[in-house]
Every structure is written in structure tokens, then in C-alpha cells.
Structure 1
Amino acid sequence: MIATTDTFGRAPRAGTAHTPTTTSPPPPPPRGIRVPRIGTSVALTAAVMVSSAPSLLPRPAVTQALFTGVVMAGALAVVWSARRVVGPRPPGRLRPRAWSVGVGTLIAIDSLYTNTLWQNRLRIAMDVDTVGWGYAVDVAGGAACVTLALCGLGRLATTILGALGVGRSLVLIAIAGLLSYAVAAPAVRSAVSDSLSASNSASDDAVTAPHGSARSGAPDSLVPWNTLGREGRKFATGGVDPETVRTYVGLDSAPTLEERVELAVADMERAGAFGRNVVVVAIPTGSGWVDENAVSGAENRFGGDVATVAMQYSNKPSWATFLFAENDARRSANALVRAVAARAARESTPPSVVVYGQSLGAVAGSDAYLSLRQSNRIICGAVWAGPPAGAVNTEGATVLANSSDPVVQWSADLLWSPPNTTSSPRDAPTPMWLPIVSFVQTSVDLAAALDVDAGHGHRYGTGQGTSMPWCR
């Protein structure tokens, strides 16, 4: 018989059996469907409600699904971050969590349904095809896919950073940031600039040089056809009456701002612009675009006795020029308006000068108009179409602003105060203002501001020209 001893080498007492001390294994994790915590349900429900709030413009299901999915993923990231800061907490009882999921699901379904009804109200007002119940289904399915994809990428990123540790993660992020700033950003900027320059210079075989002497790019014009740029060529060949004067100077027409201004005035003189009753100085948008509706409307308004001049100051989109080169736009507009007004004043019967600008063109032209209209009676008036909120001084000018134009309404003030829509004719149902939510919705609408017909969004019709003042 083999004697046994305890841990300290002592033999057990007679009549007792030795049983080793053991720790019971943890209970297995519960199986079945995991019910989200209450905070998760509340966050997701709020995300669907915010993303489904009324918009200014109709949205395709893809756009709405992407927006909803991004907001939902952001809500989950906020909840996850809050739990990391506060620390682990028990998930709570099953019944309250199940109730929160059920109620949240019903609210989300109602939000998607209400959004579909609102989309149809906008589409009817803007003469766009309406959508059915499949729209809400597509939005829900697409949003779920986007949310899962973003959460998966977030989980992968946190796993990698967790494996590397805090120190290595910070070093990796710093190196990636430096490489992006020093290498990637300049390369992308250069590629985009080259692409925009090539696009600006590209010729359209459907647009041929004008033959009449009243247009820039014509055989006897001082501005060569191939220097007008894509938008300049469209401007010079537009309209019904080829005898109306249209002068355009592109970025490639002369190397400096001063030389471009001199070239514009000289080509106006050649075409007889200052012998017309009205001269319209049209300030283009960032890419050099001048709305044909405005020019045609002005030519109808003044019976063809009008000359229109425009000068390109950038080949980049308006939003990029507004953010990074707004001063270039202002300097160009100011120089052209002053030069045209000074030359017109030398005529025995000077023409009236009207300044026109849409969007960024309104921003660029407003300074020149305000500084000259009091001192120079030749400056007859101004028309601003779709001016960005708070960026244009509208004193003494005719303002055209669609109620559905997000460019007109968007500003940081929209976070805490409703937009001023007293001067905007109502072209579509107007959503109720909600703090923060309206700012987010309007920001999303900016991307589709031009995807509608004239009279809605950031599109304006011939009223831009027919509303110009007739000072004589």
C-alpha cells in the first residue's frame, strides 16, 4: 500500500480520503442570436432617422444607401469609443434589450418609408420619375452592406494596431502621414492639375470656330480659337444670333492677368462691343463656365443690342477654386470690370455695364460691383444667381436663388440657425430646419446640386438674363 502525503509533506489522517482542490470551468458562452445592447440600438436608430430626414433634392437609392451606411457606421464607432472610455459594463437584461431592438426597428422602417414619400414629393415638383417601395428596400440593403464593410475595415485596423502596440502604431501613422504629405499629395495634385489642363485644352469636334466678326475665336479675332479652352469655345459659339457680341479670353490666351484683361478689351473694341447699348461682364465659375441660359436671356432681353465679355481665371472646379484660389477669382473679376467700365466711359454715348455671376462668379464679382457702383454711373446693376450663403454682398443687386439650391443655404450657421429663404422663390417642398441634421443633409445635397433641370437646385434658367436691369 502506498502512503500519500499532502502539499506540506504530511500524511492524511485515518478515515479521510484525499481529494485534490480543483477550479470549476467557466460556463460556456450562451448560444443563439446575440441581442444588441440598448446603447447600440439607440445609436443605430438615431443614425437611420438622421440620414432619412428630408433633403432639398431627390437622391438615387445608391446615394441614400451610402449616406445611411456611413452614418450608421459612425454611430457604431461612437458607441464603441464610449465603451472603451467608460470601461466594460454588463450588457443588461435580455427583455429591455429586445424591446429596444424591436422599437428601434419599427422607427427605422417608418423613417425609410417617410423618406420615400418625401422623395416622391420632390420628384413630382421637379418633374422627375417617382420611386416605389423598392427604393426603401434598396436603401436598407445597401446601407447594411456599407455598414458591415466599414465596421469590418475598422475591426481589421484596430486588430493590426493592437498587434503592433501603441508605440509602433504611432510611428507607423506618423510615417504614413509624412509620406502622404511629401509624396502622395504632390503627385495627386500634379496629376489632377495635368488632367484638368488637358481637359480644358481638349477640343470638341462638334464645336467649330465662329465665322462672324462679333465672336472671339473668329478668323479676324485677336483671341486665337485654340486658346479659348473648352468652356470658352462653347461660349463663343452659343446663341441664336451670331451678330451678338461675345468676347472670351482663356487662360492660355495670354500669360498674365494684365495681358488677358488688355486682350479682352482690345477684342471687344474690334468686335464693336462698346457701340452696343448694354455690355454684360460675365464672371465665370471656377472652370471658366458661363451659363448659356444667362447669356441667351440677356440677348433676348436687350433685343441683341448687347455685348457679353468673360475671362477665365481657373480651370479647376468651382469648389476647389473657392477653397484654394478664391483671391484669384476676385482679382480677375475686379480687373476686368474696372477695365471694361473705364473703356466704356470713353464713348460719346457710353453703354450701360451690367455685372453678372453665378455661384463662385457671384462671389468674385460682388467686390468689384460694390466698389464701383457708387462712383461710376456706367455700372448699371448686377445679377447674382445661386450665390453661396454669406459669401456675397447682395446690396443693390438682383439675386436669383432657388429654394432647393443647397449652395445658397449651406453655411456653418446652418448648424444652429435656420437659413434665410425670404428672397428664394419656392420651387419645391422645403424641409423643416433641424439643428445639425439640416447641415448634414444640405452638405450631402451639394454633391447633386447640378443634377437637376433649370429652375431647381443650382440650375438657373434664362431668367438670369431677362432679369438684368435696363437703365435707359
Structure 2
Amino acid sequence: MITSVTGASGRIGAARSDIEPQPSTGVRLPRVGTSVALTAAMLASSAPALLPRPAVTQALLTGVSMAIALAVAWSARRALGTRRPARLRAQAWTAGVGALISTGAILSNIQWQNRLRVSMGTPSVDWHYAVDVVGGATCVALTLWVIGLAIRRMCTAMGSIRSVVLIGVVGVLSYFVAVPALWSAMSSSFAASNSALDDAVTAPVAVARSGSPNSLVPWRTLGREGRKFTTGGLDPSTVRTYVGLDSAATLDQRVELAVADMERAGAFDRSVVVVAIPTGSGWVDENAVTGAESRFGGDVATVAVQYSNKPSWATFVFAEDDARRSADAVARAVAARAATSSTPPQIIVYGQSLGSVAGSDAYLSLRHTDPRICGAVWAGPPAGAVDTDGATVLANSSDPVVRWSADLLWSPPDTSTTRPDAPTPMWLPFVSFVQTSVDLAAALDVGAGHGHRYGTDQGTSMPRCR
């Protein structure tokens, strides 16, 4: 009896030693997987970008990345099943190393930001930038995490079937009701903004400009960008013809009106005619037109026809064909009318961003059949969307538009046509795609010669065809 009790007592002692609890420190450390995921998120979000980035933008990117990392770590634990937590020492080491790596990533990001800012002539940042980023990112990540927990608890309370039904109903209503209503409201807003008159911009008086008293195109119909276009430049004798969306009801009528107003202004008596393809909102870069007028000593006429009043991204997604049809119709009509002149002018097609996408098709279809189409200039062409054969291409290395494409997920961008204007980050799979996507939002928030901003070299680089 004594022997059996002693043996039992020994086994119980051994069992207790196997499950001896870890000493409590009063601090709850994150799991090893959570620390690894958060560190990876910090490294990815702090990777070098193309453009200087405000602290708010960087904080949003980092915060969203952290929230996604937390969700991935949680999902992985759920998928792999419950396992015994790692030892406290492993958790502490992982958290500590992760914190050091994250701190290094933030400091490296500040150094990179300052390199970009020096090259682009913008003020540098200091440690306050890091504080703003870390504080903002933490708030964003926690907010998203709390929202995720609330949704999870709601779905748990409702049950899987009801949750799926609710998600389906919300998706259907969003697709058929919310999205169309939002698009309609945005379209109305864009149309109102396009038609609104700015008292600071007055109608031109020069005969050579659309919107002038002698013009066939009424001033009020030119649209916001058209009014800026016709009143710009240093030499009012240069011909600038513009037809807005409100100037005529159909594309054919707008093109016919543009050619008629060019004739009135004497455009076909100039040695060069530039067919400028606007961006989605109808914008034509003043730098390009001024550069062309300088290049050809004023002996040039520029024509543009508006095909949309929406931003380029919206037109590119929903109405790219409108841009292509307009560019082709204008180029063909101008070339046909130029052919009837006793001394036909040479024709150059110009486009920036979406304008280059629309203009490249027209240029390629006409350049081999019409000798008067003698050159083209594409500024900031979207990656892979423009045929650059026979054209002059201006592409800043810091321009996210010329680098962004789905291919960036798994392969480096084609930089053969870009010109260095700032330090260029190395390509990283997936990370470069995310960073470039974020940079798209600020592509125009820099000076000419950087990002998606181009200077007068758009015009001065146009070829002399004679």
C-alpha cells in the first residue's frame, strides 16, 4: 500500500512539472505570428515610393496594412487550428525584434522621403513625421480591427446562413442602386463644374481664339478647361481652337465646328497644326501649348475637342472608346481639310496621359497613309497602353502613371522610355504595385518635371517636319 501510494505520488508530481505554468509578467505579449505579420506590414508599407508622401497618406497605408496583417494572422490561426501558445520568451524575442525592424523601416522611409524631396525641391521631414505616421497608423489599424470584430460578432449572432443572405442583399443593392445613384450624382457634379463660369477668366478678344466675339464657338460653351485653354499663352496671335461638350450635341457636329472655327481663325495658313487630345476632363496642358508656340515661333495652330467632363480615371474606366473615337475623328477631319490648302500645314498629334492613349490609335492609323501627319508627342503615357512607334515620348521616372499596371505585381516595369528625374526605388514583387498604386493619388501634387507633371518640353520637343 505504501509503495503504491508513493508511486502514485511520484507520477502526480511528474505530471505537475510538465504543465507548470509560465510565470506571469502582467504584460500580454502578441503571438509570434501576429508579431511577424505586423513587422511584414510595416516593412511593406515603408518601402521606398516614387513621390514625396504626406504623413497622413503614409499613416493610412501603414494602418490599413497593419489591419490586413492582423486579419491574415487571425485567419491563419483559425485555418491551422488551435495550438499551444509559444513560450513567453519566444513571444518577447519576436515582438522585440519586430519592433526594432519596424523602427528601422520608419527611419529608412524618412531618409528616402528626404532624398525625394531634395530632388524635387520640397521641404524635408524630421522625426515629427515618424510620430505622425506611427500615431495615425495605430489609430487606423485599431479602428479597422474594432470594426472587423463588430462585424464578426454580428455575423456570429445572426448565423452563417443569414449572414450570407445579408451580404448578398447588400451586394445586389449596391450594384443596382447605390453605385448607379453615386455615379449619377458624380456625373451631375462634374457637368456643373465644367459649365460653371469663372469671373476671373474673361473671354479673349483676339480673332485667332475660340470664344472671341468673332468665333463660331460661344464662350459659355467652351467648358472650364476650354476657357483656360483659349485665354492662355503669351502671344494672342497664335491660333487656339477649342470646342466643348456643350458647343454641339454630337461628336460629328463638334468636329465640324472645330474645323470651321479653325478656318475662320486662319489655322490652315500656319505651317504647323497641333491636334491636342485632351485628358478626360477636357484639360490640355498649358505647358505643352506654350512650348509648341515657342518652338515654331508662333507659326502654329492648336486645336482640341472635348469628349468628356469627367476625370481621366473615370473616363479611362467607363468611356475610353469615346476618347479614341474623338481623337480619330478630329485628326482625320483636320488632315482632310489641310489637304485642300495650297500649302498644307504639317500636323502633329499631341496627348498627355489618357490623351496619349486616345491619340496613339489615330496617329498610327494615319501616319502611313497621310504624309501631313508627321509626328506625335506622348507625355506621361500609361504603362502598356500606348504604341510609341514613331513618336516622341516624355516619361518621368517618378511618374506612377507610366509604371502602373497589373504586371507590376510580378515583373519589373519597362523603364526604357523614362528619363531620370529623382531617385528610383528598386522593384519588389507585390510591394511595388501597392506603393505605385498609392502614388497615383498624388501624381499631380509635384512640380513640372516630376511625377505626372510635364513642362514646356512637351512642345519644344515636337519635331520639325520640314
Q: TM-score, normalised by structure 1?
A: 0.93
Structure-2 change in CA distance of 1:30 and 1:159 (3 Å): farther
Measured after TM superposition, the shift of residue 324 of structure 1 is 1.0
1:401 is aligned to 395
Measured after TM superposition, the shift of residue 181 of structure 1 is 2.0
2:41 is aligned to 47
| Alignment counterpart, residue 62 of structure 1, candidates 56, 78, 95 | 56
2:338 is aligned to 344
Within-5 A mapping of 1:126-165: 126-165=120-159
Query: Following the alignment from structure 2 to structure 1, what is the Cα–Cα distance between the partners of residues 178 and 25?
Result: 48
Measured after TM superposition, the shift of residue 32 of structure 1 is 2.1
| Alignment counterpart, residue 457 of structure 2, candidates 463, 468, 472 | 463
Within-5 A mapping of 1:273-288: 273-288=267-282
* 3-state SS, counterpart of residue 301 of structure 2: strand
| Alignment counterpart, residue 372 of structure 1, candidates 366, 376, 386 | 366
2:182 is aligned to 188
1:312 is aligned to 306
1:15 is aligned to none
Larger mean CA deviation between 149-158 and 164-173 belongs to 164-173
| Alignment counterpart, residue 223 of structure 2, candidates 220, 229, 240 | 229
* 3-state SS, counterpart of residue 145 of structure 1: helix
| Alignment counterpart, residue 260 of structure 1, candidates 236, 248, 254 | 254
Query: Following the alignment from structure 2 to structure 1, what is the Cα–Cα distance between the partners of residues 165 and 39?
Result: 37
Structure 2 residue 382 is the aligned partner of structure 1 residue 381: no
Structure 2 residue 90 is the aligned partner of structure 1 residue 99: no
- Per-residue CA deviation, residues 51-71 of structure 1 (Å, 9 max, x unaligned), is 000000000111001100001
Unmatched 5+ stretches in structure 2: 1-20
Structure 2 residue 315 is the aligned partner of structure 1 residue 321: yes
Q: TM-score, normalised by structure 2?
A: 0.94
Measured after TM superposition, the shift of residue 90 of structure 1 is 1.6
Query: Following the alignment from structure 2 to structure 1, what is the Cα–Cα distance between the partners of residues 455 and 343?
Result: 31
* 3-state SS, counterpart of residue 89 of structure 1: coil
| Alignment counterpart, residue 119 of structure 1, candidates 98, 113, 121 | 113
* 3-state SS, counterpart of residue 59 of structure 2: helix
Measured after TM superposition, the shift of residue 418 of structure 1 is 1.2
Measured after TM superposition, the shift of residue 31 of structure 1 is 7.5
Query: Following the alignment from structure 2 to structure 1, what is the Cα–Cα distance between the partners of residues 183 and 408?
Result: 31
1:77 is aligned to 71
2:441 is aligned to 447
- Per-residue CA deviation, residues 90-135 of structure 1 (Å, 9 max, x unaligned), is 2111101110000000000000000000000000000000001111
* 3-state SS, counterpart of residue 357 of structure 1: strand
Query: Following the alignment from structure 2 to structure 1, what is the Cα–Cα distance between the partners of residues 58 and 301?
Result: 44
- Per-residue CA deviation, residues 371-393 of structure 1 (Å, 9 max, x unaligned), is 11011100010000000010000
Within-5 A mapping of 1:413-452: 413-452=407-446
Measured after TM superposition, the shift of residue 417 of structure 1 is 1.4
Residues paired across the two proteins, number: 446
* 3-state SS, counterpart of residue 355 of structure 1: strand
Q: One-letter code of the match for 2:412?
A: P
Query: Following the alignment from structure 1 to structure 2, what is the Cα–Cα distance between the partners of residues 40 and 232?
Result: 54
Measured after TM superposition, the shift of residue 275 of structure 1 is 0.3
Runs of 4+ in 1 over 6 A off after TM superposition: none
Larger mean CA deviation between 419-428 and 245-254 belongs to 419-428
- Per-residue CA deviation, residues 403-449 of structure 1 (Å, 9 max, x unaligned), is 00000011111112111223211100011111111111111100000
1:245 is aligned to 239
1:178 is aligned to 172
Larger mean CA deviation between 29-38 and 80-89 belongs to 29-38
Query: Following the alignment from structure 2 to structure 1, what is the Cα–Cα distance between the partners of residues 130 and 101?
Result: 14
Q: One-letter code of the match for 1:422?
A: S
Query: Following the alignment from structure 1 to structure 2, what is the Cα–Cα distance between the partners of residues 301 and 249?
Result: 24
Measured after TM superposition, the shift of residue 467 of structure 1 is 0.3
Structure 2 residue 197 is the aligned partner of structure 1 residue 203: yes
- Per-residue CA deviation, residues 318-340 of structure 1 (Å, 9 max, x unaligned), is 01111111111000000000000
Query: Following the alignment from structure 2 to structure 1, what is the Cα–Cα distance between the partners of residues 44 and 374?
Result: 46
Query: Following the alignment from structure 1 to structure 2, what is the Cα–Cα distance between the partners of residues 436 and 180?
Result: 29
Q: One-letter code of the match for 1:62?
A: V
Q: One-letter code of the match for 1:268?
A: M
Query: Following the alignment from structure 2 to structure 1, what is the Cα–Cα distance between the partners of residues 84 and 215?
Result: 80
Query: Following the alignment from structure 2 to structure 1, what is the Cα–Cα distance between the partners of residues 172 and 56?
Result: 35
Q: One-letter code of the match for 2:66?
A: M
Larger mean CA deviation between 169-178 and 272-281 belongs to 169-178
Query: Following the alignment from structure 2 to structure 1, what is the Cα–Cα distance between the partners of residues 180 and 463?
Result: 46
Measured after TM superposition, the shift of residue 30 of structure 1 is 6.2
Measured after TM superposition, the shift of residue 183 of structure 1 is 2.0
